[in-house]
Chain A
Amino acid sequence: MVIYGVGLLAFCFLVGQFIGESLGRFLGIEANVGGVGFSMILLMICTDGLQKRGLLPVPTEQGILFWSTMYIPIIIAMSATQNVFAAFSQGFMALLVGILPTLLLFLCIPVIIKLLSK
């Protein structure tokens, strides 16, 4: 059943969020530390284990895949709800602070990849 897949996804999501919130609390900061990451690892472990035991029928899988394909539309909606106008009204310095360091970061990617291949 499709709802089993959605339920499994919801379970992994909530457990991961809980770990992320707890980790943030433990570190004394008001932020979720890696909640999505923990959820993803959990989902990968669960689906992998179920698949190996033949317990992940196609409909269940489709409950997860549907949300995975809804991802881009959700991102489009998210883009449309960013406070873009306010960002532009904060002026030139905010623009520079947002963009110049980010350009440096882009330049670091080839460096890191080189480090990796060593």
Chain B
Amino acid sequence: MEILPKLLSVNALIVAFLVVALVTWISSVISVKILKGRVPGAAIAIIAGLILAFFGGKWTGGNKGISDVSGLAGFALLGSGMLRDFAVVATAMGSSLHEMKKTGWLGAISLLMGVFISFFPAVIIAFAFGYRDAVSLTTIGAGACTFIVGPVTGAAIGADSSVIAISIAAGVFKSVFVTIFTAPLAKFIGLNNPQAAMAYGGLMGTTSGVTAGLAATDPKLVPYGAMTSTFATGVGCLLCPSICFFMVKFIFGQ
């Protein structure tokens, strides 16, 4: 009776390979048979992952989604930042350095726009919900950049932990939103070439959302979006506790 749990926990990564393969297979069957190919299998599998994460968190009370369920701990390694970045770098092989150079300056503009267009509307929303102090407003605004910028900014300017929790949640929502809605919106916003993907990566900023969203849209675009979005968290962590914080202080006083 005790063999199976032990087997699963000793071989956690292998179990994750198997489960992800099953999720991918079921998703591709749903994509082809039920949705007639209108939604790519990868998109369904990623959404299935998010749903699993929701229930994993609900059942276990942990903060790492399905990987807190006993026997599925391997998800934490397979889905770790380390392996994600390793695989993202690998996708660069065969993509064109020439294309990336062409869009270099545009990538920089999209990074700056990405921070400001995330930050200020979020500050306004927080203000509408009754927040009045510059520290909380800035921290929540930073959360709209990525789920790393929020807590880094909050820690830097001394925000309350409940506000930091909100900023992380906002960043996670952004990542989930970008993951799910990139593929259906791609047609309407012209996201079908390397340049557009670089602008998109810089604007959205959330590397997890960008890389997952592009994977569901067109895997060939992944390296271009990843290239710019990898700078976004750094740019956000640079601007939010400094320039953005000063501007919020200037507008709202203390």
Residues of chain A having any CB pair with chain B under 8 Å? 9-10, 12-13, 16-17, 20, 23-24, 27, 29-37, 39-41, 43-45, 47-48, 61, 64-68, 70-91, 93-102, 104-110, 112-113, 115-116
Q: If A31-B234, A87-B176, A113-B196 touch, does A77 touch B89 (CB 8 Å cutoff)?
A: no
Most chain B CB atoms below 10 A, which of A47, A67, A102: A102
Q: If A68-B90, A75-B212, A104-B117 touch, does A82 touch B53 (CB 8 Å cutoff)?
A: yes
Task: Give the residue of B48, B165, B174, B215 whose beta carbon is less than 8 angstroms from that of A99.
Answer: B174
| A residues in contact with B253, CB < 8 Å | none
Instruction: Contact check, B75 vs A80: say whether CB atoms are below 8 A apart.
Output: yes
| A residues in contact with B80, CB < 8 Å | 78
Instruction: Contact check, A79 vs B234: say whether CB atoms are below 8 A apart.
Output: no
Instruction: Contact check, B49 vs A78: say whether CB atoms are below 8 A apart.
Output: yes
Q: What's the Cα separation between A98 and B190 when bound, in Å?
A: 23
B3-11, B30-38, B198-206, B244-252 - interface stretch: B198-206
Q: If A77-B75, A87-B173, A97-B143 touch, does A29 touch B89 (CB 8 Å cutoff)?
A: no
Chain B contact patch, size range:
35 or more
User: Which residue of chain B is the closest to A34 with respect to CB atoms?
Assistant: B231
User: Which residue of chain A is the closest to B67 with respect to CB atoms?
Assistant: A81
User: Which residue of chain A is the closest to B74 with respect to CB atoms?
Assistant: A77
Instruction: Contact check, A44 vs B93: say whether CB atoms are below 8 A apart.
Output: yes
Instruction: Contact check, B65 vs A83: say whether CB atoms are below 8 A apart.
Output: yes
Known: A79-B50, A81-B79, A84-B176. 9 other contacts (CB 8 A): A35-B85, A72-B24, A72-B219, A76-B20, A78-B212, A79-B49, A95-B170, A97-B125, A97-B143
| B residues in contact with A30, CB < 8 Å | 152, 237
Instruction: Contact check, A40 vs B227: say whether CB atoms are below 8 A apart.
Output: yes
Task: Give the residue of B58, B93, B122, B203 whose beta carbon is less than 8 angstroms from that of A108.
Answer: B203
Q: What's the Cα separation between A104 and B115 when bound, in Å?
A: 12
Main secondary structure of the interface of A (DSSP, over half): helix
User: Which residue of chain A is the closest to B103 with respect to CB atoms?
Assistant: A116
Instruction: Contact check, A68 vs B97: say whether CB atoms are below 8 A apart.
Output: no
| B residues in contact with A35, CB < 8 Å | 85, 230
Instruction: Contact check, A105 vs B85: say whether CB atoms are below 8 A apart.
Output: no
Residues of chain B having any CB pair with chain A under 8 Å? 16-17, 20-21, 23-24, 42, 45-50, 52-58, 63-67, 75-76, 78-80, 83-95, 97, 100, 103, 106, 109-110, 113-114, 117-119, 121-122, 125-126, 129, 140, 143-144, 148, 152, 165-179, 181, 185, 189-191, 195-196, 199-200, 203-204, 207-208, 211-212, 215, 219, 222-223, 226-228, 230-231, 233-235, 237-238
Q: What's the Cα separation between A24 and B119 when bound, in Å?
A: 21
Instruction: Contact check, A44 vs B92: say whether CB atoms are below 8 A apart.
Output: yes
Q: What's the Cα separation between A85 and B61 when bound, in Å?
A: 9
| A residues in contact with B191, CB < 8 Å | 109
A84–chain B nearest beta-carbon distance, Å:
4
Instruction: Contact check, B89 vs A9: say whether CB atoms are below 8 A apart.
Output: yes
